Structure 1
Amino acid sequence: MRLGAVARGQREALREVYDLTSAKLFGIILRILHDREEAEDVLQDVYVTVWNRADRYDPARASPVTWLATIARNRAIDRLRALGPRRAGASMEDAETLADEAPDALSRLEADDEARALRRCLETLDARTRGSIVAAFFGGVTYEDVAAREGVPLGTMKSTIRRGLIRLKGCLGS
């Protein structure tokens, strides 16, 4: 992927990055926001961020897709928080009866070799750590919500996820 060229201001490189990644990133964002228009706005924000911050990409820390997916996830969560109570259109009872037929972000990524490697490495983690990472990075759940679900302090959850990510990085050979 041509993030270095994007950092040098090459518009065609940004177009290439967009063409290669927009469907995956849109899937991640849509899974978090559940609103197509909001997801489209956030996707645009993601690529503006990529244009402005491509020079900060460090291939030693993450693959290009992982870096982009992290930006997309964070922007979507920021938008979700900004929307706040306005998102409460349906009641919780309605939510239980609505089936989401669309594959989740992790399922969409499984077609890639990177996703298969990630799945294999996730299986090496204990169930709690794996579930927390999947919820936070693929389900769009905030660390605070993951900590509440698990009944642990936020700092403990952040540490659990961080240690799990370090093990994943080692497993993936990054």
Structure 2
Amino acid sequence: MNQPIRFSGGRPADAEGHDLTDVMSQVARGDKQAFSALYDALAPLVFGIVVKVVRDRAQSEEVAQEVMIDLWRQAARYRSDAGSVRTWAATIAHRRAVDRVRSAQAAADREHAQAAREHATAYDDVTEQVETRLESEQVRRCLRGLTELQRQAVTLAYYQGLTYREVAEALRTPLPTIKTRMRDGLIRLRDCMGVTT
């Protein structure tokens, strides 16, 4: 049943002179020879329709093969009062071809969206690193504007995690003095950094 599609130039006679409606009813009963005749009669038509929509020969051959398999599987659904076998086959071929194009477009859209997300993520990472570096430089610059005691107290408290009491002990300075210097230093840092409350 899975014969390779043969594409000759010109339109073949309807299944070697047989009426395609009769051939289709034989195919519906599982007659493989009838399907072979149907295949020969319809494969060029099916391929022609598919290639006009899909525009890629390799994919068109694949889709045309799928259509021919559909015709085999769905033969019992064919109704002669709804149209000719050629029209029915052409409709199935067109639908399959459009589905393939839509599927390919959806896949391309997903790839583009993923690439855009990856680009945005990379951009965001770089932006975040630059902002962090700029903020760090600004903090260092602002720390240089503090008195020596303020700078030491703030550094010990915020960068080394010491409590006010531990800072006072480390700097051998009374606790109230440390608290005052820390408060004044933080106000100066806030003003220097442009932080509004």
TM-score (norm 2): 0.43
**Higher RCO, 1 or 2 (CA under 8 Å, sep at least 6)?**
1
TM-score (norm 1): 0.48
**Larger radius of gyration between Structure 1 and Structure 2:** 2
